[in-house]
Amino acid sequence: MSFLTLENIAKSFGPRSILHNINLSLAAGEFVSIVGASASGKTTLVKIASGLQTADSGTVTVAGQTVTGFVAQAGMVFQNYSLLPWLSALENVRLAVEPAFPEWTPKQHTEQAMKYLDMVGLGKAALKTPAQLSGGMRQRVAIARAFAAEPRILFLDEPFGALDALTRATLQQELASLCRAAGRPVTVLMITNNIEEAILLSHRIHVLGRGPGATLSPSFAVEPDAVSLRHRLAEFLTSGAIAPRLIQEVA
């Protein structure tokens, strides 16, 4: 049964069509990635899915409810960290915990924030401000903030795109570990331009075609033969159109 559903989504900015006839569904607990070239409309798509932006037409539903604003019980991680620079790492995480659990005491909010900072290896840096942290550490804070609210659904907007290769690989593993350790199904929609990252983390992958009027490919299931899947995804990305043979392979 679908937990997140996008039906017939279209979006334009002025005369330029960005997205056209986007249909996508994610089951509860499923990790789905959308890969595509820069400026193909990936960020617009994830903003519409999360309720941060409104589509021109079509509907988004989460758990059967139509989305009219930012999705309740959702977390979001951006590429640029989005931390408040005047607050400590602990205070930045608490910002998500407090509205998620309004009935809790301040002590419980702090304990929850510290729990997730510890989980991403930043317990000893909890009182440091973003300026005192490396890029990888800032992204760890952003990931801890997203998970500390115990979301049912997580939206990832190229969360590791600004990081070096080693830090990126480390945080990919930490993200996967946090999803497994959540103790509840966490549905994840991630956009990325990195095929290897999508294959590593996802159950299924869609390709967002080149615009204007970008549409989604059929889904590619992540297979044991990841090398073959990588070649198929790369072929689609470079072709710029949904080749009939690829449709037959993934349908």
> What angle is formed at CA 234 by the lines to CA 231 and CA 37, rounded to 5 degrees?
165
**Predicted pLDDT at 245:** 40
- Within this chain, do residues 140 and 211 fall inside the same structural domain, yes or no? no
**Predicted pLDDT at 39:** 81
Overall average pLDDT of the 86-99 stretch:
96
Q: Are strands 220-221 and 187-192 parallel, antiparallel or unpaired?
A: unpaired
- Within this chain, do residues 69 and 160 fall inside the same structural domain, yes or no? yes
Q: Which of 134, 150, 166 is the last residue of a domain?
A: 150
- Within this chain, do residues 161 and 204 fall inside the same structural domain, yes or no? yes
Spatial contact of 93 and 148, defined as CB atoms under 8 Å apart = yes
**Predicted pLDDT at 209:** 86
> pLDDT tens digit string along 215-250?
998 899 997 777 677 777 777 666 655 443 433 444
Residue 251 has pLDDT above 50, yes or no: no
- The residue type of 96 is A
Burial class (CB in 10 A: 0-12, 13-18, 19+), 9: buried
> pLDDT tens digit string along 170-200?
888 889 889 988 888 999 999 998 888 999 8
Spatial contact of 47 and 53, defined as CB atoms under 8 Å apart = yes
Backbone angles phi, psi at 172, to 5 degrees: -60, -45
**Predicted pLDDT at 244:** 39
- Within this chain, do residues 47 and 115 fall inside the same structural domain, yes or no? no
The answer as to whether 79 is a domain residue is no
Q: Domain limits at 49?
A: 2-73+153-250
pTM of the model: 0.88
Overall average pLDDT of the 43-67 stretch:
94
* Tokens 């304990």, residue located: 111
User: How far is residue 160's CA from residue 152's CA, in Å, rounded to a whole number?
Assistant: 21
**Predicted pLDDT at 227:** 62
Residue 102 has pLDDT above 80, yes or no: yes
Give every CB contact of residue 145 below 8 A, 6+ residues apart in sequence: 75, 92, 93, 95, 96, 116
User: How far is residue 56's CA from residue 16's CA, in Å, rounded to a whole number?
Assistant: 12
The answer as to whether 80 is a domain residue is no
The answer as to whether 131 is a domain residue is yes
The structure tokens listed for 166 are: 């080693």
- Within this chain, do residues 61 and 158 fall inside the same structural domain, yes or no? yes
- Within this chain, do residues 24 and 117 fall inside the same structural domain, yes or no? no
Overall average pLDDT of the 37-52 stretch:
91
Percent of the chain with pLDDT over 70: 93
Instruction: Please state the domain count of the chain.
Output: 2
User: How far is residue 130's CA from residue 124's CA, in Å, rounded to a whole number?
Assistant: 14
Question: At 59, which CATH number?
Answer: 3.40.50.300
The answer as to whether 78 is a domain residue is no
- Within this chain, do residues 101 and 215 fall inside the same structural domain, yes or no? no
* Tokens 């002025």, residue located: 14
**Predicted pLDDT at 250:** 45
Residue 37 has pLDDT above 90, yes or no: no
**Predicted pLDDT at 230:** 72
Query: Which segments of 163-223 are extended strands (E)?
Result: 187-192, 204-207, 220-221
User: How far is residue 113's CA from residue 191's CA, in Å, rounded to a whole number?
Assistant: 26
Residue 167 has pLDDT above 90, yes or no: no
- Within this chain, do residues 166 and 245 fall inside the same structural domain, yes or no? yes
> pLDDT tens digit string along 120-143?
999 999 999 999 999 999 999 999
Give every CB contact of residue 173 below 8 A, 6+ residues apart in sequence: none
